[in-house]
Amino acid sequence: MAIEITSELRARLGRISLFLCDVDGVLTDATVFVQGGGAEFKAFNIQDGLGLVNLRRHGVKVGWISSRYSASTDARAKELQIDFLEYATSGKVAAVETIREKARVTWTEVCYAGDDLVDLAPLRRVGAAIAVANAVDEVKAAAHYVTLVRGGAGAVREISDLILKSQGKWDQVLAGYSY
């Protein structure tokens, strides 16, 4: 499915050097399975994972911000070699600020994807604000773009592809898979 984006969004995404997103509801479908002993399980979309790998391979740093600790999130972040993982104990703006400073980028160079009210504050500050299709209405209203697919179902892949295409790197991405 071809996605048409505005020239304004293309310009915003063209400046991105750091992609950040929420975890539950963006990288997952917001479902958390909790076993009797407290063990937690989450499902992550494999195509989202490749999208994040593509971003990293082509010069865009990647980070996740969650309001709650999860060993499942830690394990998936380690597996994908995510550049930054922050648990937002003092709010998501503070977490974005911590990562932004480590990455040495401006707010304009940050793309943030969210789905719920806890994501509103960072969405209102970043250069490219994205809501996933299953986001609450207030988050969609704050976004520069709303994905066609839901969180946990390829929304992050949709975003990563849009960033790389907007930056003119898509042919390089494809060339990396032609062997």
Sheet holding 84-87, edge to edge: 84-87, 61-66, 18-22, 110-114, 128-131, 145-146
For residue 4, pLDDT beyond 80: no
DSSP class of residue 117? Answer: G
Alpha-carbon distance of 113 to 71, in angstroms, equals 21
Q: In terms of residues, how long is the chain?
A: 179
- Of residues 91 and 125, which shows the higher confidence score? 125
Contact 64, 44 (CB under 8 A): no
User: Which residue do the tokens 């207030």 mark?
Assistant: 138
The average pLDDT across 114-129 equals: 97
Of the chain, the percentage scoring pLDDT greater than 70 comes to 98
Residue type at 47 in one-letter notation? Q
* The predicted structure's pLDDT at residue 31: 85
The two tokens of residue 88 are 């937002």
Residue type at 74 in one-letter notation? D
Mean pLDDT of the chain: 95
Residue type at 80 in one-letter notation? L
pTM of the predicted model as reported, rounded to 2 decimal places: 0.95
For residue 3, pLDDT beyond 80: no
Alpha-carbon distance of 25 to 31, in angstroms, equals 8
For residue 39, pLDDT beyond 60: yes
Q: For 74-89, what is each residue's pLDDT tens digit?
A: 999 999 999 999 999 8
